[in-house]
C-alpha cells in the first residue's frame, strides 16, 4: 500500500509541474502577441482596416495600361483631328494609343502633319476604312447626298480598329479634351452593357439646349413611329436619345452581342423600309445605335460631352462652365476651324498649323460657307 501511495504522489506532482510549465508558456505567448500587435514594423500584425499604400512601381504601372482612342479623319476636317489628339496628349500622363480611321486619299497628308509637328512622338496607327462595307446598308437620298460620309459609320466597326482591346473610347473629330482621358476610360459600365453614352436629356444639356427643342432629343425625333418595324420594337417614343459622338465601349460585350451585325441589320432595314425620321438633318448614324442600345447602355459623366457648341445653344454657356468642361463638342453646323462657332478660341489653343498649308485653304472656305 505504501508503494502505491508513493506512485500516486509522484503522478500528482508530475501533473502539477506540467500544468505550471503550460501556464508559463501560455503567458509568454500572450505577451508575444501583444508585442507584435502594437509593433508598427511591416512584420507586425496590422489592424483589419489597415490598407497599405500601393508600392510606387505598382502605382506607376496603372499609367502603362494602354488606352485605345478611336477617331476618324477626313481630309476636309483633318485640323479637327490634330487639335483633338493634341488636347488629349497634353492633358494626360497615361499611355494613349490613337487609332485614326481614314480614307486612302488622306493618309499621306495625315502622316505628314503628325510627323512634322510636336505630335511626332504620339503613339498612333492609321487605319483605312473601306467604303464597300456600307454596300446595301446606306440609303442614298439625292437631297442628303452630301451628308453621306462613309467615315461617320466607322464607329459601328470598333472591333475592326482595335481587335485586341477589351475597352476603347470613340471620339468625333470636332472635340477638345480638357480633362485627363484616363477618367473617361475608367467609366464604369453596367454588366451586360457594351457602351456608355451621354444622354441628351442629362442635366447639363437640358439646362442650355433642350428647352423648346421639341422632339429633337427623343427617340421620335430619329425614328419613324408610323413604320411597323419600329412599332414592333415597343420602344417608348418619348425615351431620351443619346449622343454617339463620344462613348466608351466594352469591346468584349460588343463582340458577344454582335453589336456590329445588329447595327448593319437596321441599316439594311432602313434601305428598304425607311424607318429613320424625315427630320434627321443628316444624323443617319444615330437611329441604328438608338435601336440596338435601347435601355441597354450605361452613362458617361455629362461633363465629358459638353456639346452643341456648333449651334446657337453654345452661346448660352458661360466662360466658367466651358473652362470646367472635361470635353467640349462642337456638334452642329458651325465648326471651330471655321472660326464662327462658339468658343472657337478654345479650340484654336490646341490647333497645330498644317505644315503643308493645305488645311488653311479648307479653313478659308469654311469661313466663307458659314458666313453666307
The predicted structure's pLDDT at residue 278: 83
The predicted structure's pLDDT at residue 205: 58
* Grid cell locating 365: 472656305
**pTM summary value:** 0.80
Q: Which residue stretches of the chain have pLDDT < 50?
A: 27, 29-61, 145, 210-214, 368-372
Size of the chain in residues: 372
Distance CA 195, CA 248 (A): 6
Distance CA 224, CA 144 (A): 17
The predicted structure's pLDDT at residue 64: 79
User: In 10 A of CB 212, how many CB atoms?
Assistant: 6
Q: Per DSSP, which regions of 51-123 are E strands?
A: 66-73, 95-102
The predicted structure's pLDDT at residue 98: 98
List CB contacts of 252: < 8 A, sequence separation 6 or more. 166, 167
- Number of helical H runs and strand E runs in the chain: 14, 9
The values of phi and psi at residue 41, to 5°, are -75, 160
Give per-residue pLDDT as tens, 345-371. 999 999 999 999 888 776 765 554 444
Amino acid at each position: 500500500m505504501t508503494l502505491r501511495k508513493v506512485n500516486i504522489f509522484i503522478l500528482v506532482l508530475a501533473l502539477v509541474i506540467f500544468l505550471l510549465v503550460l501556464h508559463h508558456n501560455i503567458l509568454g505567448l500572450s505577451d508575444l502577441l501583444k508585442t507584435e500587435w502594437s509593433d508598427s514594423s511591416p512584420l507586425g500584425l496590422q489592424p483589419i482596416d489597415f490598407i497599405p499604400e500601393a508600392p510606387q512601381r505598382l502605382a506607376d504601372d496603372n499609367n502603362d495600361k494602354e488606352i485605345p482612342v478611336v477617331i476618324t479623319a477626313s481630309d476636309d476636317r483633318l485640323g479637327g483631328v490634330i487639335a483633338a489628339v493634341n488636347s488629349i496628349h497634353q492633358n494626360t500622363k497615361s499611355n494613349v494609343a490613337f487609332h485614326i480611321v481614314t480614307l486612302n486619299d488622306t493618309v499621306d497628308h495625315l502622316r505628314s502633319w503628325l510627323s512634322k509637328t510636336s505630335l511626332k512622338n504620339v503613339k498612333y496607327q492609321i487605319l483605312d476604312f473601306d467604303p464597300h462595307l456600307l454596300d446595301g446598308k446606306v440609303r442614298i437620298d439625292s437631297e442628303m447626298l452630301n451628308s453621306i460620309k462613309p467615315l461617320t459609320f466607322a464607329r459601328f466597326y470598333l472591333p475592326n480598329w482595335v481587335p485586341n482591346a477589351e475597352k476603347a473610347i470613340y471620339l468625333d473629330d470636332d472635340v477638345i479634351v480638357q480633362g485627363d482621358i484616363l477618367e473617361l476610360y475608367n467609366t464604369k459600365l453596367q454588366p451586360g452593357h457594351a457602351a456608355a453614352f451621354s444622354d441628351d436629356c442629362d442635366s447639363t444639356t437640358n439646362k442650355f439646349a433642350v428647352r423648346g427643342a421639341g422632339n429633337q432629343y427623343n427617340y421620335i425625333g430619329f425614328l419613324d413611329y408610323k413604320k411597323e418595324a419600329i412599332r414592333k420594337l415597343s420602344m417608348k417614343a418619348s425615351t431620351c436619345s443619346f449622343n454617339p459622338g463620344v462613348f466608351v465601349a466594352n469591346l468584349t460585350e460588343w463582340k458577344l452581342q454582335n453589336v456590329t451585325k445588329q447595327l448593319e441589320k437596321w441599316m439594311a432595314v432602313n434601305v428598304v423600309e425607311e424607318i429613320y425620321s424625315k427630320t434627321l438633318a443628316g444624323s443617319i448614324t444615330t437611329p441604328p445605335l438608338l435601336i440596338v442600345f435601347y435601355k441597354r447602355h450605361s452613362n458617361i459623366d455629362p461633363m465629358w460631352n459638353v456639346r452643341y457648341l456648333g449651334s446657337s445653344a453654345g452661346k448660352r454657356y458661360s466662360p466658367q462652365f466651358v473652362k470646367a468642361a472635361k470635353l467640349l463638342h462642337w456638334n452642329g453646323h458651325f465648326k471651330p476651324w471655321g472660326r464662327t462657332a462658339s468658343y472657337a478660341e478654345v479650340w484654336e489653343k490646341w490647333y497645330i498649323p498644317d505644315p503643308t498649308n493645305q488645311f488653311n485653304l479648307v479653313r478659308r472656305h469654311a469661313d466663307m460657307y458659314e458666313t453666307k
